[in-house]
Each structure stands twice: as structure tokens, then as C-alpha cells.
Structure 1
Amino acid sequence: MLGFTEGMFLVLTVTEFILGNLVNGFIVSVNGSHWFKSKKISLSDFIITSLALFRIFLLWIIFTDSLIIVFSYHTHDSGIRMQLIDVFWTFTNHFSIWLISCLSVFYCLKIATFSHPSFLWLKWRASRVVVGMLWGALVLSCVCTMSLMNEFKIYSALTGSRDTQNMTEYIRLKRREYNLMHVLGNLWKIPSLIVSLIAYFLLLLSLGKHTQQMQQYSVGSRDQSAEAHRRAMRIIFSFLLFFLLYFLSFVILSSSRFLPETKIARIIGVIITMSYLVGDSLILILGNNKLKQTFVAMLPCECGHPKPGSKRFFAS
């Protein structure tokens, strides 16, 4: 018999799982069909499509983990099944985070305007810089996943010692080492967080300065170009908030091993993670001209069409 907490958690995860698959599936289908028809795809569309595809994989992994939390929590941290989930989760999640970082760097180099020589050098080579980041992200994701082998060895030693008498202190030390290794695994995410924060900050700074300049030389606040810049700033700020919320979920999930209410902490972390996978993908659709136009065209009403002559940032 499920309790109230488990029941609500199951309803939320099922809802977010369905919405997440619909939203990310929409991105994959639109960009995939455009790629198939035109036989070419822009770098930004490739990153967005890859990100949506990896998020679909993540949703399935998290949903499977959620079912284990609800129906078999006593086996959540044990067995080959959880090791397989850890491997798939680590690689998919780590590469997804780096895809977000690559996308933020690409937008920053394409949109932001700074006169610093280093920035101009990177801006002229934006595509090559981002492609290099993608290859580096793939390698780092593989290395991060391989680092789990050390955790599995510790867990194997911990499991084997449970059948041995007078090993209480050894088991306690091994369990502490295992939990510490699991928490330290999140350090792999710090470089991508720093890269994304720098890119978002530069974008907001550049757009903010550009908006102020346009307001000085335009009449009133209804100027379409200035409004487009303000809209872009809101989108970038939303990206940043969701991204920080995503990292908060990692902190909650990792620290859950050291909290008295471990199950509740994990439930909160899973809900935040799945909310991010849905909300951030919705922002990607709203911030991309092609995706938004296709989405609006699917609506039964004509509301939400962009005004003639209005600009959109993050267009393909």
C-alpha cells in the first residue's frame, strides 16, 4: 500500500515523464525532419537535437529509478541493476550538461559583442571552438563514467564483508568511503557549470549594454529591436535559473545519504531534476524561431504568432 508521499511522487513523476518525452520528442522530430529533408543541419540545431535526445534517455533512466524508490526502496542502492542505472545515468547526464555548456558558449560567441582580442579570436572560430568542446565533452563523459568502477569496487568489498563477523568498524569505514566517493563524483560537473555561468554572464552583459544603447538612440520603449533584446535576456535568465536548479538537485541527491530523511530527500531531488528536463526544453522551443513557429502552427488557435518584422534570438 502506497503512502501519501509515495503516491504524490508517483503522480508527479509520471506527469513529468510524459511531458518531458512529448517536449523533447517534439524537438527531435522537428529538427530531425528538417535535417532529413535539407540533408544539412546547423551546429546549434545539432546540439539542441542531441540534447533533447539525451534528455529522453535521462527521463527513462530517472523514471525507472523512481519506480524503484516507490516500490522497492530497500534494494535501491544494491545489486547489478542499480550499478547499470548509475553507469547509464552518469554518462547521459554528464554529456547532457556539457551539451548545455556548448550551446551557451555557441550563443555567447554568436550574439555577444566585445572588443577584447581574445573574445574576437574565439568569435571568429566559434564553430571550431564548439566542435572541439563537443569532442572534449564526450571524452570527459567517458572518463567520468569509468571512475564509477572505483565506487563499485568499494561497494563490492562492503557487500562481501557483511557476511563476516566482527567487521562492524570495517563496514562503517567502507560505507563512509563509498558515500564520500559518490558525493565527490559531482566534482566532474563543476567545470561545465563554470563554463555555462561565464557564457550566460557575458551574454547578459552584452545584451544589457546593447539594449541601453538602443534605448538612447530610439524613440520610446516600443522599439522592436530593443524588445527583442529584452526578450532574449529573459530567455537567457530563465536558462540560468533552470541550470542552477538542476545543480541544486544534484546537491540534494548526493547529500541525501547523510540526511535523516534519505527517501524524502531523494524524492525531492528526482522531482526537481525531471522538472528541469521539461522546463528547460520548453524554453529551448520558445527561444528557437523554427521550433516556436512549428509549435504555434500546431496550436488550434492563431494566438502567439510573432508580429511582422519582430526579431527572434537563438534562431537557426
Structure 2
Amino acid sequence: MLGVTEGVFLVLIVTEFILGNLVNGFVGLVNGSHWLKSKKMSLSDFIITSLALFRIILLWIMFIDGLIIVFSYHTHDSGIMMQLIDIFWTFTNNFSIWLVSCLSVFYCLKIASFSHPTFLWFKWRASRVVVGMLWGALLLSCVCTMSLMNEFKIYSVFSGSKETPNMTEYIRLKRSEYNLTRVLGNLWKLPPLIVSLTASFLLLFSLRKHTQQMQQYNIGSRDQNTEAHEKAIRIIFSSLLLFLFYFLSFLILSLSRFLPATKTARIIGMVITMSYFIGDSFILILCNKKLKQTFVAMFPCECGHLKPGSKGPIAS
């Protein structure tokens, strides 16, 4: 018999699972069909499409994990099934986070304007820099996933030991070591967060510099460069705000092992995580010219139609 908490949680994850698949599936379908027609895809579209596909995988993983929490919570942290879920989740999640950072860097290099030689070197090679970041992200995600082997080894030690008076203290220490290792695993998410923050602040400084130059030359009207800065900043900062909630959910999920209401904490963390996959993808749709036009065209409302000449924040 399901309790009230489990019932509400089940309704929420089913709703978020359906919405998340619809939103991310829409991104993948639109960009995929455009690629089939034109036989080419821009780097930004490739990153956004890859991000949508990885998020669909993550939604499926979280949905299965949520069902296990509701219907078989006592087996949640044990067995081969959970180890496989951990492996797929760790790789897919870390790589998708890096995809967001790569997109932030791409927007920054394409739009921001600085005269420093180092920045200019990166700006002239923006596509190669981001492709290099993608390969590096793939490597780091593999290393992060391989680090799980140590966690599984520690878990097998205390889970396979018998609760005897001589082994009780040893098992307790190993269980504490395992829980601490799980918490410290969140540190893998700090580098992409720092990269995204750096790209955001560079865009802010570039916008400030550009605005000062316009005021100096008494240019009162808003030009395309200013609009591109502002729209890119809205995209990145909106994603960053949601990512901070996402990071908070992981802290909740990790620290739930040390909280008295472990199951409730995990439920809250999972709901926040799934909502991030929906919210951030929806922001990408609204801030991308091609995706937004296709999305608005699905709703026959005159006030919602884009004007033929309207432009998105960043050319795809």
C-alpha cells in the first residue's frame, strides 16, 4: 500500500518523465529533421541535440530509479541492477553537464569581444576549441565512471561481511567510507560549473565594455551586438540558475545517507533533478530561432506567431 508521499512522488515523476521526453524529443526531432534535409548541422545545434538525447536517457534512468524507490526501496542500494544504473547515470549525467558548459563557451567565444591576444586566439579557433572540449568531456566522463569501481569494491566489502562482534566496527568504517566517497563524487560537477560561470562573466564584461563604447560615441540605439550579448547572457544565466538547483538536488541525494528521513530526501532530490531537465531544455527552445519558430507554429494563436523577419539570439 502506497503512502501519501509515495503517491504524490509517483504522480510527479510520471508527469515530469512525460514532459521531459516531449520537450527533449521535440529538440532532437526538429534538429534531426533539419539535418536530414540540409545534410549539415552547426556545432551549436549538434551540442543542443546531443544534450536533448542524453537528457532523454537520464529521464529514463531516473524514472526506473524512482519506481524502485516507490515499490522496492529496500533493494535500492544493492544488487547488480543498481550498479548498472549508477554506471549509466554517472557517464550520461557528467557528459550532459559538460555539454552545457561547452555551449556556454561557444556562445562566449562567438559573441564576446576582447582585445587580449589569448582571447582572440581562442575566438578565431572557437569551433576547434569547443570540439576539443567535447573530446575532453568524453574522457573525463569515462574517468569519472571508472572511479565507481572503487565505490563498488568498498560496498562489496561491508555488504558481504557478516555482522559479528569482531567485524561490526570494521563494517561501520567501510560504510562511512562508502557514503563519503559518494558525497565527494559531486566534485566532478564543479569544473563544468566553473567553466560556465567564467563564460557568463566574460559575456557580462564584454557587454559592459560594448555599452560604454556606444555611450562614448553617442550611439543611443540598440545594435545587434548588444542584443546578441543580452540574449546569450539570458540563456547562460538561466541555465546556470537551474544548474544551481540541479547541483542542490545532488547534494540532497548524496547527504540523504546521513539524514534521518533518507527516503523523503531522495524523493525531493529526484523531483528537482527531473524538473531541471525540463526547464533548461525549454529555455533552449525559447532562445533558439529555429526551435522557437517551430514550437510557436504548433499553437495556432495569432498573438503568438513570430514575425517573418524576427531573429533568435544566436544564429544556428
Same fold (TM over 0.5): yes
Question: Could you say what secondary structure the match of 2:305 adopts?
Answer: coil
In the alignment, which residue of structure 1 is the partner of 2:201?
201
In the alignment, which residue of structure 2 is the partner of 1:48?
48
Aligned equivalents of 1:214, 1:235: Cα separation in 2: 23
Cα deviation, residue 213, structure 1: 4.9
Aligned equivalents of 2:143, 2:227: Cα separation in 1: 44
Distance 1:227 1:143, change over 3 A: closer
Stretch deviating more after TM superposition (223-232 or 64-73)? 223-232
In the alignment, which residue of structure 2 is the partner of 1:276?
276
Stretch deviating more after TM superposition (223-232 or 81-90)? 223-232
The residue type equivalent to 1:258 in the other structure is F
Question: Conserved in 1, the CA contact under 8 Å of 2:111 and 2:228?
Answer: no
Question: Conserved in 2, the CA contact under 8 Å of 1:17 and 1:59?
Answer: yes
The residue type equivalent to 2:263 in the other structure is K
Aligned equivalents of 2:199, 2:133: Cα separation in 1: 14
Question: Conserved in 1, the CA contact under 8 Å of 2:107 and 2:232?
Answer: no
In the alignment, which residue of structure 2 is the partner of 1:36?
36
Question: Conserved in 2, the CA contact under 8 Å of 1:109 and 1:126?
Answer: yes
Residue 122 (str. 1) matches residue 126 (str. 2) = no
Cα deviation, residue 305, structure 1: 3.1
1:136-181 deviation line (CA, Å, top 9, x unaligned): 1111111110110111011111111136553110110010011011
Residue 171 (str. 1) matches residue 168 (str. 2) = no
Cα deviation, residue 104, structure 1: 0.6
Stretch deviating more after TM superposition (125-134 or 178-187)? 178-187
Aligned equivalents of 2:82, 2:214: Cα separation in 1: 55
TM-score by length of structure 2 reads 0.93
- RMSD of aligned Cα (Å): 2.0
Unaligned runs of 5+ in 1: none
Question: Conserved in 2, the CA contact under 8 Å of 1:9 and 1:267?
Answer: yes
Distance 1:229 1:196, change over 3 A: closer
The residue type equivalent to 2:26 in the other structure is F
In the alignment, which residue of structure 2 is the partner of 1:185?
185
Aligned equivalents of 2:11, 2:190: Cα separation in 1: 32
Residue 158 (str. 1) matches residue 171 (str. 2) = no
In the alignment, which residue of structure 2 is the partner of 1:8?
8
Cα deviation, residue 110, structure 1: 0.4
Aligned equivalents of 1:272, 1:184: Cα separation in 2: 20
Distance 1:212 1:231, change over 3 A: farther
Instruction: Give identity over the alignment, percent.
Output: 80
Question: Could you say what secondary structure the match of 2:303 adopts?
Answer: coil
Question: Could you say what secondary structure the match of 1:175 adopts?
Answer: helix
> What are the residue-to-residue correspondences of 1:238-253 with 2, within 5 Å?
238-253=238-253
Question: Conserved in 2, the CA contact under 8 Å of 1:214 and 1:226?
Answer: no
Aligned equivalents of 1:93, 1:310: Cα separation in 2: 35
1:278-303 deviation line (CA, Å, top 9, x unaligned): 00000000111111111111112133
Corresponding pairs, count: 315
1:256-315 deviation line (CA, Å, top 9, x unaligned): 111111111111110111010000000000111111111111112133333465442123
TM-score by length of structure 1 reads 0.93
In the alignment, which residue of structure 1 is the partner of 2:102?
102
Distance 1:232 1:98, change over 3 A: closer
Question: Conserved in 1, the CA contact under 8 Å of 2:249 and 2:273?
Answer: yes
In the alignment, which residue of structure 2 is the partner of 1:260?
260
Residue 71 (str. 1) matches residue 52 (str. 2) = no
In the alignment, which residue of structure 2 is the partner of 1:143?
143
